[in-house]
Structure 1
Amino acid sequence: MVDIEPGLFDPPPGWTPLEAVVPDDLSRGEKRQRLVQRRIRDGIHPLGYIGLHKEAAREREGDGLRCGTCRHRQVSQYHNRSYPKCWINDGARATHGESSDIRAWWPACTDYQPTEEKTNA
């Protein structure tokens, strides 16, 4: 038998096709949860285009920095509802959809800045 070197477009060992990872019967919310988990695992912020802070929590119950303690995470009011959004650069990351809602437990991104402590002055 001849050993064949893997080609440029051959899948890496252990690779699973996306269809096997995301069943068709998952709800939209379940698919979103899996996407968030995959991004965090890969070192990407759940928004999808920002890296994680080097001291960010990598697990939901783990220790580290989180969006919930970042000064950029602000809760916006719209039609008697509250929506947590990232307001860095005047809301450049905030859209009117749920995909840009920032969960407090999410790991902090590279733009993380801690909330300012309130003083009793």
Structure 2
Amino acid sequence: MTYVEEPLFVEIGPKMNPVTAKPYTLGQRQQARIDAGMHPLSGVGAMPRLIRLAPSGTGTCGSCKHLARVGLPVGDGYRTKTFSKCTFAADRDERGRVTFAPRISNSTGTDCRRKWPACTDYQPRDDGRAA
């Protein structure tokens, strides 16, 4: 049996600069989805699916009636914080609280920004104000 004293390095594919090989930040991934004609919430949440953008000029998530401030547990589970989330197709209890929503998870990846362009599920707010 022979032992190799030096490590064996095999080059596979082109050399990559480790500085530029970092994964995108969350904001960059969300902007890339917008540029591709998809809503930033595409592929995230409890039931991931493709969400297309509405035609330009339709509105923004901030003027949609599905944008809501949802209280989610943080830290030890006894405290809650509110986050902007999309409540489209959400199930609600008798008090009107969201119990399940396909586009919500306890993650910053499903936080909804008011400035994002509207999706095809956009419905304007009844009271005419932004969230």
Query: Which residue does the alignment assign to 1:86?
Result: 86
- AA in 2 matched with 1:70: C
Equivalent pairs: percent with the same residue?
31
Query: Which residue does the alignment assign to 1:110?
Result: 120
Alpha-carbon RMSD? 2.3
TM-score w.r.t. structure 1 length?
0.64
Which of 38, 42, 47 is equivalent to 1:44? Answer: 38
Q: Gaps spanning 5+ residues in structure 1: where?
A: 1-18, 57-63
Structure 1 runs, 4 residues or longer, greater than 3 Å off: none
Q: Which structure ranks higher in relative contact order (CA pairs < 8 Å, sequence separation ≥ 6)?
A: 2
- AA in 1 matched with 2:127: E
> Structure 1 or 2: larger strand share?
2
Cα distance, 1:46 vs structure 2? 0.5
Cα distance, 1:95 vs structure 2? 1.0
Cα distance, 1:39 vs structure 2? 0.8
> Structure 1 or 2: larger helix share?
1
Partner Cα distance (1:35, 1:104) in 2 = 17
Partner Cα distance (1:108, 1:31) in 2 = 22
Partner Cα distance (2:65, 2:85) in 1 = 11
Cα distance, 1:24 vs structure 2? 4.0
Is residue 34 of structure 1 aligned with residue 28 of structure 2?
yes
**Which structure has the greater CA radius of gyration?**
2
